[in-house]
Structure 1
Amino acid sequence: MLDVKDLTIRLTHQAEPLVQGVSFSIARGEMFCLVGESGSGKSLTALAVMGILDRGFEAPTGEVWLQGRGTPQNLLTLDEPALAGIRGDRIGMIFQEPMTSLNPVFTVGEQIMEVLRLHRPELEAKEVAARALEALVEVQLPSPAQRFHDFPHKLSGGQRQRVMIAMALVAEPELLIADEPTTALDVTIQAEILRLIDRLREKNGMSVLLITHDFGVVAQVGDRVAVMHRGKLVEQGSTGVVVHTPQHAYTRQLIRALPENLPPLPPVPVHDQVKLLEVDRLQVHFPVLKGLLRRPVDFIRAVEDVSFDLAAGEVLAVVGESGCGKTTLGRALLRLIEPTGGSVRYHGQAMETLGRKELRRLRRRLQVVFQDPASSLNPRLTVQTTLTEPMAAHGIGADDEERIALARAVLEQVAMPADTLWRYPHEFSGGQRQRIGIARALVLDPDVIICDEVTSALDVSVQAEILQILGRLRAERQLALIFITHNMGVVEYLSDRMLVMKAGRMEELGRTRDVIARPQADYTRRLLDAVPRVSDHVGRHAAAN
């Protein structure tokens, strides 16, 4: 179906190629996975196949042959009008972030109908509308007739991704390129989207190029897989062979970095554990205001009657889908959001009774690491200022020299070099910025750190480094962690207990190993069943081979 030969991509006026000598082929009806970490060249390869590289790139060299209907064509030799006739017709593409790919000023239906008007001009207006609505039904979008007239901002992330799939498939392409289509989605929605793509592939006899960094996803759905590293293909073959007997050192490194394959964390003494936090029936309600006078007519119950305690050195994972109240719970514990009801006690002291000064002093002991370090670190401050300012505010260190020494010691604990102090956040990778975010919390010597999705945007090898750093710090400092995440593999690896949330309420609370082995709530079972694991799959055709 697709035959890529010696594909090379360069930026204009740059000798070193970003993608070099990449060759692979995809058979009709095959699910071919292209896997690698951020910056490896996966998405650039897909953009070159589609002919939509930015102007800053030279024309790619090599060959990209599209087979199927009609005469085989080398896509790299076609002009723009010819490529425009192929895009959306013979090749469909799903992008990673549907909110930036969908036009916010057109309804969902209009955007799907546009594809048909362009590639199926012989269809009448009524037939175009009927085919567009049928596409939404096909991708199992809830209330498709209503959503047909909605704008993208009214849809959830999973629903927007279904619309993107409908747009990509409405003209019945021979090849679908899916670029990280499930990266930002909850595990249950990810499973639904993958099943949907696979079902449509089998139904339509379509080939799929699935770009991902998740080997669990590869093992679950892939027929064959190719591994990219620094712009080159380092290994390719049937999924079962590559996943379970990898030949290249980089492939082995990626698979070893999965949470299920990481070495055990250092043990934490359980004797004389002190209760740090006691949360009792915590509530956070947001009013729904309507009318000219903006009076409350209802409340959104973001957190409702949540209760738990946290001991020194313990890791409590808070898990659930987007919108379940995990992040709101974490912010309410720190009083970054004022609770509506219930109580939070730190060492037996009720936090809701504290004034601003007392609360500020207490926050030295209760810290947070946010999901996106790029937006939570001040871009105008050096790392030295970012780390020493909080210490000065809380009276830590006799002078700047002592605070800089303390900052340097904390950076060493999170495996960052000493010259980090004099650099700015934009000079670091995402994983390095996340380590700086952890260091900023650690410089105040806290008892509790709330980690809000701190590994969700990281590559698997960087995620492994962060998890092992947190595990080591927990053992060395008797540090308690509230780990907010939707990644069940991370939960199983790092946490002692887990709290499962749904629609603001607790569904289940217990020791992690017990909840995973014997979940009591149906919702917990559904979450666990949706987790893609390398150990559970060998690829569809590996067993046959």
Structure 2
Amino acid sequence: PGNTVVKAVDDVSFSIPRGETFCLVGESGSGKSISALSVIRLLPHGLASHPKGEILFNGQDLLRMPEADLRNIRGSQIAMIFQEPMTSLNPVFTVGEQIVEALQLHHPDMNDAEAEERAILALEQVQLPKVRERFHDYPHQLSGGQRQRVMIAMALACEPELLIADEPTTALDVTVQAEILRLMRKLQDDTGMSTLFITHDFGVVAQMAQQVGVMQRGKLVEVGRTAQVLRNPQHAYTQQLLAAVPENLGKAGSSPHPNSPQQGLGKGEAILQIRDLNVWFPIKKGIFRHTVDHVRAVDGVSLDIPKGQIVALVGESGCGKTTLGRAVLQLEKPTSGSIRLQGQELTGLSARELRPLRPKMQIVFQDPQSSLNPRLLIETTLTEPMQVHGIGSGHEERIELASRVLDDLQLPRDTLWRYPHEFSGGQRQRIGLARALVLNPEFIVCDEITSALDVSVQAEILQLLLKIRAERHLTLLFITHNIGVVEYLSDQTVVMYKGKVVEQGATAQVCGSPQDAYTQKLLAAVPRLMV
């Protein structure tokens, strides 16, 4: 308020030797991205200033450099990969045009044909499938992972001396992430490029960095060689962050519910039975839009989900995980097959026939920001579903029920009288969970609910889920691509690939000795903390 000055970055000092990677880690709001944007002076002019300090690049102070000179360095000598590719790519140009433009801007002597070939080579380097077709696609026609690869290709095409990578692999599948990290290390070895890598994944830090710096509230609280910091952290905040990594959380509290011992999928009392499920989307072509083929998003899937267990559904983007989760809840109509909830067939039921069953089966979405109505108070968000399904005798009772759920999720009761934008990402995710829990469901689909969270917030959410599961004897289908989360949280694991289930069983067995070649590849790609 008023003329308050926020020290987003406060007296930070570090250096990056040529050919090395320096990782900046810390939670959201710690100043990591502000530090990176300061290097190439991309912070909004007039809002942000650098009252003191210097940023030396090849002996030149970038903070004092004229804008015209800095423009020659940006992109060609210092490139940046941004975290959110959809907002960084221009929606009205094809991805090929955007890479060609970047190349010709920094290499004016390069003709169109040369620039196009160099751009295609850059896209091939980042393992983009069907490169010559993708070259002419617009950003919205690509998946999140493909867009991120285009951003990386654009940054690396000009072969910079310093690459600033702001969470470049957050939205990527673990196998794609492994390819991208391998590619960045190879380019670094080939060109001697230095990298400032911002991440909150300590597994990535262990793989990529020679040095690591830990930021908290604008200050660099610990800096050192990677192995030293990861094995023997000195600062209490670094110790706290490392303790929150799923592989360090330990198994306390994560044993199955006493009434649901670890069993093979399909044994014991199954709350949900899926048989030969298909969800196909037609591919239409020609002037009369005839169906020429189908996208087999879910292809012949059968599995049982035992009551009271957490079943993890893992696989890469596009493998059909979310479509399967939505089909189970009848948010996506199956093409064929059977889905039974507590013995009752769901497929073929009308919306009216499904309504009495809706409270029993709920979903928590990946992005709480877009799934919560920004115009409604949290009180309305939580009490409206109860009113629709006849839970609570009146408004006061519904308020009390909602307040109790907030207590369970460790949110203050005055949360009810605020709007979604007033909360952090982790708090919004808890509110999304509260919206599902107020209906007292028996089965919840959790769709990538921890993917965008800081490691410490993720740890809190996972521990809360285990606590709630035990108290309410809930059954969860947990969709994720984070294998660390799977190993910590789930009793059973189901692996999907191209619409089919390729492996399923107890988590310890699937993650410990995978049988299918794809599962082996998936687990081998997981960045581990061991250095």
Which TM-score applies when normalising by structure 1? 0.92
Q: 1:283 to 1:56 in 2, by over 3 A?
A: farther
Partner of 2:287: 292
Give the counterpart of 1:311 among 306, 311, 321.
306
Partner of 1:188: 175
Q: Which runs of no fewer than 5 residues in structure 2 stay unpaired?
A: 262-267
Provide the C-alpha distance between the structure 1 equivalents of 2:342 and 2:127, rounded to a whole number of angstroms. 50
CA contact (8 A) 1:12 1:56 kept: no
In the alignment, structure 1 residue 408 sits paired with structure 2 residue 397: no
Letter of the aligned partner of 1:405 in structure 2? E
Q: 1:285 to 1:21 in 2, by over 3 A?
A: same
Provide the C-alpha distance between the structure 1 equivalents of 2:141 and 2:2, rounded to a whole number of angstroms. 40
Q: 1:352 to 1:150 in 2, by over 3 A?
A: closer
Partner of 1:87: 74
Q: 1:127 to 1:258 in 2, by over 3 A?
A: same
Q: Secondary structure at the match of 2:181?
A: helix
Partner of 1:517: 512
Partner of 1:199: 186
- CA offsets 1:262-313 (integer angstroms, 9 cap, x no match): 1422541136963211111111111122333333222111111111112221
Give the counterpart of 2:94 among 107, 110, 113.
107
Letter of the aligned partner of 1:347 in structure 2? Q
CA contact (8 A) 1:374 1:425 kept: yes
Give the counterpart of 1:270 among 254, 259, 274.
259
- CA offsets 1:193-250 (integer angstroms, 9 cap, x no match): 1111111011101111001111110011110000111111110000001111111111
Provide the C-alpha distance between the structure 2 equivalents of 1:112 and 1:35, rounded to a whole number of angstroms. 29
CA contact (8 A) 1:49 1:64 kept: no
Give the counterpart of 2:422 among 404, 427, 443.
427
* Aligned 1:114-513 pairs, distance under 5 A: 114-263=101-250, 264-267=252-255, 268-270=257-259, 274-513=269-508
Provide the C-alpha distance between the structure 2 equivalents of 1:449 and 1:127, rounded to a whole number of angstroms. 53
Q: 1:95 to 1:467 in 2, by over 3 A?
A: same
Partner of 1:32: 22
- CA offsets 1:71-109 (integer angstroms, 9 cap, x no match): x11000012111101101211111112232222333333
Q: Secondary structure at the match of 2:502?
A: strand
Task: Tell me the number of residue pairs that the alignment of Structure 1 and Structure 2 aligns.
Answer: 523
Provide the C-alpha distance between the structure 2 equivalents of 1:285 and 1:130, rounded to a whole number of angstroms. 37
Provide the C-alpha distance between the structure 2 equivalents of 1:171 and 1:443, rounded to a whole number of angstroms. 53
CA contact (8 A) 2:260 2:307 kept: no
**How far did residue 171 of structure 1 move?**
2.7
Provide the C-alpha distance between the structure 1 equivalents of 2:141 and 2:394, rounded to a whole number of angstroms. 52
How much identity, in percent, do the aligned residues show? 61
- CA offsets 1:352-393 (integer angstroms, 9 cap, x no match): 253433311111111111111111112222112211122222
CA contact (8 A) 1:368 1:449 kept: yes
Provide the C-alpha distance between the structure 2 equivalents of 1:146 and 1:340, rounded to a whole number of angstroms. 30
Q: 1:46 to 1:280 in 2, by over 3 A?
A: same
CA contact (8 A) 2:75 2:106 kept: yes
Q: Secondary structure at the match of 1:528?
A: helix
**How far did residue 256 of structure 1 move?**
0.6
Q: Secondary structure at the match of 1:25?
A: coil
Greater displacement, 265-274 / 189-198:
265-274
Q: 1:266 to 1:324 in 2, by over 3 A?
A: closer
Which TM-score applies when normalising by structure 2? 0.94
Q: 1:41 to 1:448 in 2, by over 3 A?
A: same
In the alignment, structure 1 residue 77 sits paired with structure 2 residue 60: no
**How far did residue 412 of structure 1 move?**
0.4
Q: Secondary structure at the match of 1:76?
A: coil
Give the counterpart of 2:41 among 51, 55, 67.
51
Greater displacement, 419-428 / 271-280:
271-280
CA contact (8 A) 1:12 1:57 kept: no
CA contact (8 A) 1:21 1:232 kept: yes
**How far did residue 465 of structure 1 move?**
0.6
Provide the C-alpha distance between the structure 1 equivalents of 2:305 and 2:111, rounded to a whole number of angstroms. 64
**How far did residue 126 of structure 1 move?**
4.8
Q: Secondary structure at the match of 1:77?
A: coil
Greater displacement, 285-294 / 450-459:
285-294
Q: Secondary structure at the match of 1:208?
A: strand
Provide the C-alpha distance between the structure 1 equivalents of 2:437 and 2:8, rounded to a whole number of angstroms. 37
Q: 1:58 to 1:161 in 2, by over 3 A?
A: closer
Q: Which runs of no fewer than 5 residues in structure 1 stay unpaired?
A: 1-10, 539-545
**How far did residue 394 of structure 1 move?**
1.7
Q: 1:148 to 1:12 in 2, by over 3 A?
A: farther
Letter of the aligned partner of 1:434 in structure 2? Q
Provide the C-alpha distance between the structure 1 equivalents of 2:520 and 2:384, rounded to a whole number of angstroms. 45
Provide the C-alpha distance between the structure 1 equivalents of 2:200 and 2:312, rounded to a whole number of angstroms. 24
Greater displacement, 164-173 / 306-315:
164-173
Q: Secondary structure at the match of 2:187?
A: helix
**How far did residue 113 of structure 1 move?**
2.9
Q: Secondary structure at the match of 2:34?
A: helix
Provide the C-alpha distance between the structure 1 equivalents of 2:316 and 2:369, rounded to a whole number of angstroms. 23
Q: Secondary structure at the match of 2:5?
A: coil
Partner of 2:264: none
Provide the C-alpha distance between the structure 1 equivalents of 2:283 and 2:120, rounded to a whole number of angstroms. 33
Q: 1:405 to 1:156 in 2, by over 3 A?
A: closer
Q: Secondary structure at the match of 2:14?
A: strand
